[in-house]
Chain A
Amino acid sequence: DGGITQSPKYLFRKEGQNVTLSCEQNLNHDAMYWYRQDPGQGLRLIYYSQIVNDFQKGDIAEGYSVSREKKESFPLTVTSAQKNPTAFYLCASSATSGGPWEQFFGPGTRLTVL
């Protein structure tokens, strides 16, 4: 089945540690995205990538890093510089050419900093 997988579903981190969230898609989409959700707020864009080996900062990129070495994969690293990392993280992908394509979302990772 085509879709987006994220792992792990739940993640616990100690303060000061970096942690990497996985996102894989087999939809053959060029574009991938990372969002963060906090209570009472909409989905906020962290980073996005429109093509392999290229990515751009979203609205709240500070304290995060990404890589896009393969079309299928877009891992997100939450670094110790992120002041408030406890949140729900969603990965998405979409086509890019020909129109405003809908985004397909993964199941999310809930990160808790202890």
Chain B
Amino acid sequence: ILNVEQSPQSLHVQEGDSTNFTCSFPSSNFYALHWYRWETAKSPEALFVMTLNGDEKKKGRISATLNTKEGYSYLYIKGSQPEDSATYLCAPKAPRDILTGGGNKLTFGTGTQLKVEL
């Protein structure tokens, strides 16, 4: 089981603030990193899948970067809005799962719970 850490555990920001969270994972056992957003009463929804060191992906006001050498990824939200309130989950995928037939087996972190207030 991969050791995945997300910080902070929770975050309260004001509307319009920019914010970022961190996902840490073992750099020695990396194949890909997924980010998901999970809004209350809805299903988790994929934001990004990243594989290359230095990768940067963007979707609207949300972007993510990846550092596979040091084992971390940042998720940034620019100009937070109330609709951004959700739990953000990261999930690394190890290469040994590919080799042993583990397919798309992911290990999820505990998430960062974001609350954007008016």
Contact = CB atoms under 8 A, between A and B. Distances in A.
Contacts of B32: 99-100
The B contact surface, by secondary structure, is loop
Nearest to B4: A42
Interface string A36-77: 000011111100101000001011000000000000000000
Contact of B34 (A42, A48, A56, A100): A100
Contacts of A94: 104
A41 B98 CA distance: 25
A42 B89 contact: yes
Contacts of A103: 34, 44, 46, 104, 106
A42 B45 contact: no
B103 interface: yes
Given A100-B32, A100-B34, A105-B45, A31 B110 contact: no
B43 A42 contact: no
Interface string B17-38: 0000000000000011010000
A52 to B, nearest CB: 14
Contacts of B104: 31, 33, 94, 96, 100-101, 103
B108 interface: yes
A111 interface: no
Nearest to B50: A100
Contacts of B109: 42
A71 to B, nearest CB: 15
A102 B43 contact: no
A112 to B, nearest CB: 17
A13 to B, nearest CB: 23
Interface of B: 1, 4, 31-32, 34, 42-46, 49, 51, 89, 91, 93, 101-111
The list of the 9 closest CB pairs from A to B, nearest first, reads: A100-B32, A102-B46, A42-B108, A105-B43, A43-B108, A50-B103, A42-B110, A105-B44, A94-B104
